[in-house]
Amino acid sequence: FASLPVVINTWPFRNATAAAWSVLQSGGSVLDAVEKGCARCEIEQCDGSVGYGGSPDESGETTLDALIMNGDNMEVGAVADLRRIKNAIGVARAVMEFTDHTLLVGESASVFAENMGFVAEDLTTNKSVNIFAQWLKGNCQPNYRKNVFPDPSKSCGPYKPRVTLEQKQRVWQGNTRSHDTIGMIALDQDGHVAAATSTNGLTHKVPGRVGDSPVVGAGAYADSSAGAAAATGDGDVMMRFLPSYLAVELMRAGADPSAACKTAISRIKRHYSEFFGAIICANTTGHYGAACNKAPGLTQFKYMVSNSESDTPLLKS
């Protein structure tokens, strides 16, 4: 049963859903809803994979990726490899509102954020220091580099790609647990549609690595004439297929949301049968669906829904 407005997000991040829903209930826009919802996860460090203090890269630093999209006018703001600023989704929103650009990256994105008044802080926490220290201690295992480097004592980086395709495929099977980005979509009764993502990416990534989350059509997509979608999972693989864009376009062509999500996942599966990933989507009537690639590390994908039938977020799988 479909109803509007609706807020949907990846993973059981209930407080994020509730935060977004309360924005809509108090008359806020779908853009405000998805921004506040993702920001809630940044504050709560949802699952360690959103916000500061998680997923240290191979130098020990936490960096953030985020995107926000307005499906009414197709405006997008995004940041990638953002350093020192906790509120990545806020910076993404500032890129959208205050510049003509779509995506700012790295140190320059951080300087932009500081100029916009965002507070610069260390994103490191005891937890991320620990994750990093454990990794170094164990010769950086378990980590994909174990498969990349024949000599595990050299497996902490800096990254030197000496890897066969076969080794590369093993990489992702061993690395399925460190992905839990928030991707959120919101649609209201007046036909407004928005989408957003926020993540700290992949643990022990090569510095500079950017995943799918801040890439339009990969991490999320919104078009008020068709619907919205958001993806989560192995961004390095998923971004090659623009699954969020694909799901929205399939809904535009008449596919129901579950089928659209399924097809977006199957498209990736053709090449990466064991990839870790999932997608949520909804069309303009408020019908929604989700799909995941059932593979080792993900047998069931959980996501949250709030709509007028239940204003407490519902856990779906």
Question: Binding residues for ligand SD4, per CB under 6 A?
Answer: 49, 179-181, 199, 201-202, 211-213, 232-235
Instruction: Count CA atoms closer than 13 A to 229's CA, side-chain side.
Output: 37
CA distance 161 to 312: 47
Nearest distance, CB of residue 253 and ligand SD4, angstroms? 26
- Does 37 show up as a binding residue in the annotation? no
Nearest distance, CB of residue 297 and ligand SD4, angstroms? 11
Q: Which is nearer to ligand SD4, 49 or 306 (CB)?
A: 49
Q: Which is nearer to ligand SD4, 54 or 71 (CB)?
A: 54
Structure tokens at 22: 């309360």
- Does 65 show up as a binding residue in the annotation? no
CA distance 299 to 159: 31
Q: Which is nearer to ligand SD4, 140 or 182 (CB)?
A: 182
- Does 62 show up as a binding residue in the annotation? no
Q: Can the peptide bond before residue 142 be classed as cis, meaning omega within 30 degrees of 0?
A: yes
Structure tokens at 286: 């408020």
125 is annotated as an active-site residue: no
Residue type, 24: L
Q: Which is nearer to ligand SD4, 58 or 212 (CB)?
A: 212
Nearest distance, CB of residue 40 and ligand SD4, angstroms? 17
**Exposure class string for 129-151: b at 16+ Cβ within 10 A, else e:** eebbeebeeebbbebbbbbbbee
CA distance 224 to 222: 6
- Does 28 show up as a binding residue in the annotation? no
- Does 233 show up as a binding residue in the annotation? yes
- 75 and 223 Cβ atoms separated by less than 8 Å: no
- 3-state SS, residue 299: coil
Q: Which is nearer to ligand SD4, 49 or 70 (CB)?
A: 49
Nearest distance, CB of residue 47 and ligand SD4, angstroms? 9
Q: Which of 10, 17, 181, 203 is catalytic?
A: 181
CA distance 315 to 300: 12
Nearest distance, CB of residue 2 and ligand SD4, angstroms? 26
- Does 235 show up as a binding residue in the annotation? yes
CA distance 16 to 14: 5
Annotated binding site for substrate: 209-212, 232-235
| Catalytic center residues | 181
Annotated binding site: 209-212, 232-235
